[in-house]
Structure 1
């Protein structure tokens, strides 16, 4: 698989040799990274392994997951911090805040006219069906990570500030289970915060907070966005251009009944075998059932209306589904089957990239040993989700 094998499975080690191309300071108590806004020359090296002494992810290693994963930001790499929340009462209400370190060459969905590699982006959708997005370039990004498993004097174990944008995040608990992302931007005419506390344990992959109780209180150009919902935080990075890695990418997270789910299904570009790579996370009442990258544990397929290409798989640019079918393997002989329906478009160009919020409905079944029979254990489980797709291969391309 291409570079994304690394960025969606097990992650980095704080002890790895890692020459930083941007300014950084380290002490026994914390690490501070100062990332410049200009493109850096020379190769960029990525961290892709996690230090798990005794087979466990320690506090210090957990905190290092929020640190920059690249030694520098040249024109062909990307690294970003992602936060979102969707209302449990109405999935049309959502908020996404992303802190990018990338050029548009590396991640082509950014504004190619921007010279800064530091972009703070916000997307919001409202229950009246409207949506809004805006972004600002930063002059400097500062990321502080506690290095000893304890909060710093200001109470934070992880924080990031994209200078001159008014956007920043802070994590106050040593296990990274509680975050606050704030926005105070007169230029965007946005002010407020997203706060959340994890309801599920931390797991050793890129989803730092797979599911959380999120509270949004934000005013966006005079419109109030105020809801409680399902929140999420992850981190993505690569040491190569996005278009050199991805053919298709399906990702999402949601909560239905007592279940929290995260899914990711990926096809690499220029892979004649169309090998599918997945990451699967399922928890029930905060207890993890599945967190693995075994392709046998998850199947994700698009669904579409008749006479459309929405359900085509493998997909091509322009294939827009009505939703997705998810099939998670749980405990032995048990499966969680979920139908995801698109309700609100939050972002996207209608061809290469789309993000939606929507409703989800599922059931848990027990499958017979010979797979010829099954019985329903839980039915009509409902909830909400945020989900997205990237399709990067044109029809007719080799």
Structure 2
């Protein structure tokens, strides 16, 4: 699925006021991927949370001051985009190398900030996309990137994703910066408690059947392996397998799929979303 004008598209104009909608249905229809234009944006803080209104698009969100929940409202009946979805947090969020709070380094790469306020959530979705109902309860997630340089200039390649399997909510990345240095990170909740948090070691992500690191010339993988060391020294070993491609613009691909993970000899299955950046020719 392509998306002309998406944020990481090298070849088309990008409107920073657009709200991008990605909707994957449970039938055989392809994902719906499209921008909704706005005329202005207002974001206000409220305690540790925030609210935002993309005026003219009919799309807004509201976060609680304690980051316990977020609600996204869709109110654009002209294009058949209506309804709400709600995220109720399962555990504490984090920065790249530490918990939420003052004094933490907010950078995941030089000039690029990142915060993960909801690593795992109970999600409730009740919306219509082009008038087609999409309603379910499942797993949710919320983070935010920002920076003062183009994101794709800050790296050569990156795998990033999040997953829910059994009692675990996982966040993970494995990337190569412009100097060729490998940077990794991992975060895990078990029943809402932090059981892993690292930004230096203990995480390895590799594509199955394609080279690592990926380049603009390598094939796109359909599965990944994830190995993560938890804080107690135990190991989580997993395979992520795609079931749907949400977007593919060459240098950037995002999938949803399944995860099969083993910890302490116990194997469980769950759901996952992950992405690949491959912006370098070598």
Normalising by structure 1, what TM-score?
0.61
Larger Rg: 1
d(CA) in 2 for partners of 1:240, 1:258: 37
Q: 2:134 & 2:11 partners in 1: Cα distance?
A: 26
Q: Which residue of 2 aligns with 1:360?
A: 259
Which residue pairs with 2:8 in the alignment? Answer: 108
Structure 1 pair 110–137 and aligned structure 2 pair: CA distance change class (3 A): farther
Match of residue 186 from structure 1: 77
Q: Are the equivalent residues in 1 in contact too, given 2:165–2:261 (CA < 8 A)?
A: yes
- 1:216 aligned to which of 108, 125, 130: 125
Q: Following the alignment from structure 1 to structure 2, what is the Cα–Cα distance between the partners of residues 239 and 200?
A: 30
SS of the residue corresponding to residue 152 of structure 2 reads helix
Count of aligned residue pairs for this structure pair: 258
State whether residues 363 and 381 of structure 1, in contact with CA within 8 Å, keep that contact through their aligned partners in structure 2.
yes
Instruction: Give the Cα–Cα distance (whole angstroms) in 2 for the partners of residues 360 and 262 of structure 1.
Output: 13
Equivalent in the alignment of 1:381: 268
Structure 1 position 142, deviation (Å) = 0.3
Label 1:209 to 1:134 Cα distance change in 2 as closer, same or farther (>3 A).
same
SS of structure 1 residue aligned to 2:265? strand
1-structure distance, mates of 2:171, 2:119: 7
Distance 2:193 2:54 in 1: 35
* Alignment correspondent of 1:291: 197
1:244 and 2:244 aligned: no
Give the structure with the larger strand fraction: 2
Offset of residue 263 of structure 1: 0.7
Partner of 1:348: 248
Q: Does 1:303 align with 2:202?
A: no
Aligned to 1:125: 24
Gaps of 5+ in 2: 97-114
1:241-288 Cα distance to aligned partner (Å, 9 max, x none): 22321211111111001111011122113x2xx321122111111111
Q: Which residue of 1 aligns with 2:110?
A: none
1:134-161 deviation per Cα after TM superposition (whole angstroms, max 9, x unaligned): 11222111011025x6xxxxxxx52001
Give the match's secondary structure for 2:146.
strand
> How do 1:84-163 and structure 2 match up within 5 A?
107-109=7-9, 112-113=12-13, 116-130=15-29, 131-147=31-47, 157-163=49-55
Structure 1 pair 337/356, CA: closer, same or farther in 2 (3 Å)?
Answer: same
Does the residue aligned with 2:225 lie in a helix, a strand or coil?
A: strand
For the pair 1:276 / 2:182, whether they are aligned, the reply is: yes
RMSD: 1.9
Q: 1:265 to 1:129 in 2, by over 3 A?
A: farther
Is 2:235 aligned against 1:335? yes
In the TM superposition, residue 110 of structure 1 has moved relative to its aligned partner by 8.0
CA contact under 8 A between 2:73 and 2:84: conserved in structure 1?
yes
Which residue in 2 is equivalent to 1:198?
89
- Cα separation, partners in 2 of 1:110 and 1:186, compared to 1, 3 Å: farther
Aligned to 1:259: 168
